[in-house]
Amino acid sequence: MKFAHLNTVNTSWIDPAQQKNMCNRALAVSDTSKNSVITDTIVVTHSMGNLMLAGALATGTCTLDPSSTWVGIAGPMMGSMASDFVQDSCAGETNVVWEEIGQVTGRCPPNGALQFLAYSGRNYSSNSLEAAYSAAQESYRANVHALMCGKSHSGITSKYQAKFWALGSMISHNSEENDGMVDFKSCAAGFPESQFGDSYRDRFYKTKLNHYDMSFRAGDSILSEAKMPVKWFECLL
């Protein structure tokens, strides 16, 4: 198992160098991968990593061999209203409390990577970003084998749980079904909702986990099958 952590703060998902880095990390896992074809590899992407890989596949920077499997988690495939919120906050268009939070998190002025997560079809998006989203979503739907998305930001008890309660409540998400950062619709990105189930046994898993929970950092809930990301991943293997 290999873990890749790329700079998603200063470098956007549509940056060709970022997409190349994403491919290089995936290609390095298996000795059988060559000529930009990812072979005999299980690729797991969280959050913006989904856009980076989808974008790389869409531009032909690399390809997934049928022997490889892509597991997507909490991807903002249509963008995130958190990006729009921060851009509004930094422009002084929200209340003073949230303006202060924007300053504390170091997101003002908003960096380029965050700007390229502007929600599709909303004020901060652009024609070029819409085209990139569309291409990425197409490759995402064609290649993702299993997917975990959040329909509620209630989450698992953790030191960051309250933060996502606040984000889920205060950000003007397009739907109440969100993980605090990403709407379910954005994560599903065209996969029909009927394809999802709320049990860790479902390959397409619609959870009650917040955005950080889906990176496995809080483990599993003891009782709720809609909050068991680790068991879900174990069942995929």
Inform me whether the pLDDT recorded for 98 exceeds 50. yes
Q: Would 1 be classed as within a structural domain?
A: no
Task: Provide the pLDDT confidence category of residue 105 given band limits of 50, 70 and 90.
Answer: very low
What pLDDT sits at residue 14? 97
With a cut of 70, say whether residue 97 has pLDDT above it.
no
Asked whether residue 12 is domain-assigned, the answer is no
Inform me whether the pLDDT recorded for 108 exceeds 90.
Answer: no
Which pLDDT does position 94 carry in this prediction?
57
Per the structure, the count of domains in the chain is: 1
Q: What does pTM read for this prediction?
A: 0.93
Looking at the domain assignment, is residue 64 inside a domain? yes
Question: Per the domain annotation, does 3 fall within a domain?
Answer: no
pLDDT in tens, 15-66: 999 999 999 999 999 999 999 999 999 999 999 999 999 999 999 999 999 9
Under 8 Å between Cβ of 76 and 187: yes
Q: Identify whether 79 is part of a domain.
A: yes
pLDDT grade for 93, boundaries at 50, 70 and 90 = low
Q: Is position 214 within any domain?
A: yes
Mind listing the pLDDT tens digit for each residue in 167-182?
A: 888 888 999 999 999 9
Place of tokens 């069942």: 235
Residue 150 to residue 106: CA distance in whole angstroms: 26
CA pair distance 177, 41, nearest whole angstrom: 32
Report which of residues 9 and 48 the model is more confident about.
48
Phi-psi region of 190 (alpha: psi -120 to 50; beta: other; left: phi over 0): left
Over residues 202-236, the pLDDT tens digits come to 999 999 999 999 999 999 999 999 999 999 999 99
Given a cut of 80, is residue 100 above it in pLDDT? no
Q: What mean pLDDT comes out for the span 117-146?
A: 97
Percent of the chain beyond pLDDT 90?
Answer: 76
DSSP assignment of the chain equals -------TTTS-TT-HHHHHHHHHHHHTT-TT-BTTEE-S-EEEEETHHHHHHHHHHHTTS-EE-TT-EEEEES--BTB-HHHHHHHHHHTT-S-HHHHHHHHHTT-SSPPHHHHTTPPTTSTT--HHHHHHHHHHHHHHHHHEEEEEEES-----SSTTHHHHHHHHHHS--SSS-B-SSSBHHHHHTTS-GGG-BSSTT-SEEEES--TTGGGTTT---SS-GGG-HHHHHHHH-
Domain residues for the domain of 226 are: 18-236
What does the pLDDT average to over 137-147? 98
More confident residue, 1 or 33: 33
